[in-house]
Structure 1
Amino acid sequence: MRRNPLTPMSNCPPPAILIVEDEPLIRMNAVEILEELDAEVLEAADADEAIRALNCHPGVCLLFTDINMPGSMDGIALAAHVHATHPDIGLIVTSGGQNLKNAQLPDSGTFLPKPYRHQQLLDLARKKLASKG
């Protein structure tokens, strides 16, 4: 996590963002982008790892997940699970192989098609975090 030296330290922890992506290079890129938000960025390669991370890190306020990944559930099922168990967590769902409408996602979900631009992800994550604050 990078901290802006001009930002005063406070007792409030930074927001936490969980990235769920099975492709390591894509996940690393997303981490680099979202670290610009002065957030704690957590990583998971599949839904099972993501659920374990959510159980260990109650401060997660944004989930950014790919749809297509190995494991017990895909990103849409993960988003639905997170919405049902943690309705206060914002959701961003991405895919390069599918194109969804936001209405096809749980209530707070937003679809971001791949390939997304750096600024697109940054702006959308910033907006999601602001709506949770």
Structure 2
Amino acid sequence: MSTIDAFEEAGFEAIDALDGEQALQRLEERPDIRAIFTDVNMPGRYDGVELAHIAHRLCPQMVVVVTSGKMIVSRDSLPEGGHFLAKPYRSSQVTGLFAHLLN
């Protein structure tokens, strides 16, 4: 099951983006977006940590979760309130984390 499918099955509306630039475009188009989930390694101009910081600057109350299977991201590397979830993870872990953080 893809992460998008897991989010939707858990009752969230999930919007995907191919890279950081497209994610920022989505945030601009949809000011109702309350959370992002991004991998550290992604194509394009921004990595997931950079995207997390930009999203936080645009919307400080945005829930930001970064994941990676290749590295551990320290809390100091993330924006205030940012979270790291190491791969591999179960779908229930990620959807449960977001349910907790968005309440």
TM range (shorter): over 0.9
User: Matched residues, percent identical?
Assistant: 37
Match in the other structure for 1:13? none
- Structure 1 unaligned spans of 5+: 1-27
Structure 1 residue 96, shift from structure 2 partner? 0.7
The structure 1 segments of at least 4 consecutive aligned residues displaced by more than 2 Å after TM superposition are 101-104
Aligned to 2:67, the other structure's residue is in SS state: strand
Match in the other structure for 1:38? 11
Deviations 1:52-110 (A, max 9, x none): 10111111001000000111110000000001111111000000111122232111111
The total of aligned residue pairs comes to: 103
- Structure 2 unaligned spans of 5+: none
Match in the other structure for 1:126? 99
Q: Do the aligned partners of 1:90 and 1:109 also contact (CA within 8 Å) in 2?
A: yes
2:24 and 2:42 map into 1 onto residues whose CA distance is 14
With structure 2 as the length reference, what TM-score do the two structures score? 0.93
Q: Do the aligned partners of 2:49 and 2:77 also contact (CA within 8 Å) in 1?
A: no
2:30 and 2:19 map into 1 onto residues whose CA distance is 16
Match in the other structure for 1:19? none
With structure 1 as the length reference, what TM-score do the two structures score? 0.73
Match in the other structure for 1:102? 75
